[in-house]
A and B are shown apart, each in its own frame.
Chain A
Amino acid sequence: MNQLQVLLFASYADAFGASTVTVAVPDPATVADVVGALRSLPGGDVLPEAPLVAVDRRYTRGPVAVHAGQEIAVIPPVAGG
């Protein structure tokens, strides 16, 4: 297992009560593993099955691998403008 830090924002940060959460995921892990681990935590039911996830400040699509040292963020529906 691997420990990964995940950044949370806005409604997701409120639901988890934190703006950073550490999750335990298999090694190697994918974005889906991170989301699955988050969804099993208290507050995790706020997350859809496939929320937007950014790695190193770029949106990911599909089964992207993630590893420690990357900046991983789960992005609630954006509402700028």
Chain B
Amino acid sequence: MIRTAITDQAINAAALLEEVTSDATGATTLFLGTVRDVNDGRAVTGIEYSAYTAMAAEELQRIAEEASLRFDGLRIAVEHRVGTLALRDVSVAIAVAHARRAPALETSRFIIEALKQRVPIWKREQYVDGDRQWVDPTTQHVSAAAP
């Protein structure tokens, strides 16, 4: 099974875990991206996520479908949130279940890396001093890249 979504609601990670787990799955991974308090050396108070929603939904689904071709029997649920998020809020959740751990772990990594490369979502960070900036991963220091 595959389910992906772009949502403006808080992500319920437990519900995603429940969704992918079955009698046949012996390994379940959950990746969460959360808002952290510093990026590129600046103190962050929140992040505003926006998306080209129609394409983001389609591209996220394409990524999950590509991932599902790499191993038989994967169960995948992915949600990415948009809107204004506070520190610790979950921006993305990727739940993957499989009979075995290696496919589950590899698929989770595959999806988050492809998502960050391809899904048309943007974030504008809000800083302690009131300034706001669009994040451009192509110009940031590698060590300061987002999760």
Whole-angstrom CA separation of A17 from B141 in the bound complex: 28
CB pair B55 A80 closer than 8 Å: no
User: Given the complex, which residues of B lie within 8 Å of A63, measured CB to CB?
Assistant: none
Determine if B146 is an interface residue (Cβ-Cβ < 8 Å): yes
Secondary structure dominating the interface of B: mixed
Residues of B within 8 A of A (CB): 33, 49-52, 54-56, 58-59, 80, 91-92, 112, 115-124, 134-139, 146-147
15 contacts between A and B (CB under 8 A): A9-B120, A10-B134, A14-B134, A57-B54, A75-B52, A78-B120, A79-B121, A79-B122, A79-B123, A79-B135, A79-B137, A80-B51, A80-B56, A80-B91, A80-B116
Chain A residues with a Cβ under 8 A of chain B: 7, 9-11, 14, 54, 57-59, 71, 73, 75-81
